[in-house]
Amino acid sequence: MSANLVDRYVFTALRRVPEQQRADIDRELRASIEDAVDARVEAGEEREAAVETTLLELGDPDRLADSYADRPNYLIGPELYPVWRRSLMMLLTVVLPIVVIVVAVVQVLAEDAGFGEVIGSAIGTIINVGAHMAFWVTLGFWIIERTGAGKDDINRPWTPKDLPRYEPGALTRVQFAANLVWPAVLILALVLQQFTFTEVPLLDPANWNFWWPVLIGLIVLKGLWVFWVYRLGTWTRQVAVVNAIHGVVIGGVILYLLAADKFFNPAFPGFNGVEVDLEGWISVAVMITTGLSIAYEIFDVARKAEQARKGLGVKVPGTGNTYTAS
């Protein structure tokens, strides 16, 4: 019975020890256990009880095996943990929302999905894509942790330059990226809706002669403007003025097209066969949203420029602190 217990213990520990060390550890571990048991028996213990206490002191065989194999008993160590956390936070707070928005836009355009459907699939996307992000990032870091490959590349030493910039107006790298992704998504959606989302394109194909290329050009200009602001590192009056002009122009184009019934494709099947003038109502809704969001954007940039000019501080999110550049 007691020999049995030792066998079970040793075999369990050896399962997780590298092959080439097994025979040696087997012999040594048995000898050590028997030495300890003998010492206990000599001190007057029952043999069976002595075996049990000895094994109890050696503890969990899996843990012992980890120790023999010199394996870390953690998933991601303290060296990589901050990088892992930062990467995952970036994915979940920046990339995930973008994916959710893109999926929602595609659904509305392609499948003519209703409000409930869009919300439902947004929740599904958050859970599904979020789980994938968490899993693959963690797996990647785990592999780096175990193999050490590329560890120095992603874990480069921190310098004060890495501190986030709180200067009024300066775009952080993440904001910059998000601001570039948005125009790209818009252009992509505009082009793709012509070909793939629906059999009959949602937007008026006649505009490809002139208005859609103009709109794409204007969106590209917005991207260049973002790049300009990022390089400049601060909001200035010029930035605000250019933004306002751009907003008025792009807003004017969209509003004109909507008002003149040239925006949506009149042949789009979703609009027909309904009693109400669906196209007209949607046009009004899009006009209001476009107008409001462009007006807000112009105001927001102007406010930031004004703040930067006066040297007012900015609120650092989540801390209640106000940072003032001096």
- The span of 28-36, 196-204, 224-232, 261-269 binding another protein (CB under 8 A) equals 28-36
What minimum distance in Å lies between the beta carbon of 60 and another protein?
8
What mask, x for binding another protein by CB under 8 A, covers residues 66 to 105? -xx-x-----------------------------------
Asked whether position 146 contacts another protein by CB under 8 A, the answer is no
Q: Which long-range contacts (CB under 8 A, 24 or more apart) does 299-304 make?
A: 301/235, 301/239, 301/240, 301/243, 301/244, 302/240, 302/243, 302/244, 304/168, 304/169, 304/235, 304/240
Total residues at interface with another protein (CB under 8 A): 20
One of 59, 77, 82, 233 touching another protein (CB under 8 A):
59
One of 27, 132, 237, 303 touching another protein (CB under 8 A):
27
- The span of 59-67, 109-117, 226-234, 241-249 binding another protein (CB under 8 A) equals 59-67
Say which residue the tokens 């969001």 belong to: 293
Using alpha carbons, select from 157, 143, 158 the residue that is nearest to residue 76: 143
Nearer to another protein, 17 or 80 (CB): 17
**DSSP secondary structure of 76-91:** S-TTTHHHHHHHHHHI
What minimum distance in Å lies between the beta carbon of 6 and another protein?
13
Using alpha carbons, select from 79, 71, 84 the residue that is nearest to residue 135: 84
Q: Which long-range contacts (CB under 8 A, 24 or more apart) does 47-56 make?
A: 47/2, 48/1, 48/2, 51/2, 51/5, 51/6, 52/2, 52/5, 55/5, 55/6, 55/9
Asked whether position 45 contacts another protein by CB under 8 A, the answer is no
Q: What is the contact surface with another protein in residues (CB under 8 A)?
A: 21, 24-25, 27-29, 31-32, 34-36, 39, 57-59, 63-64, 67-68, 70
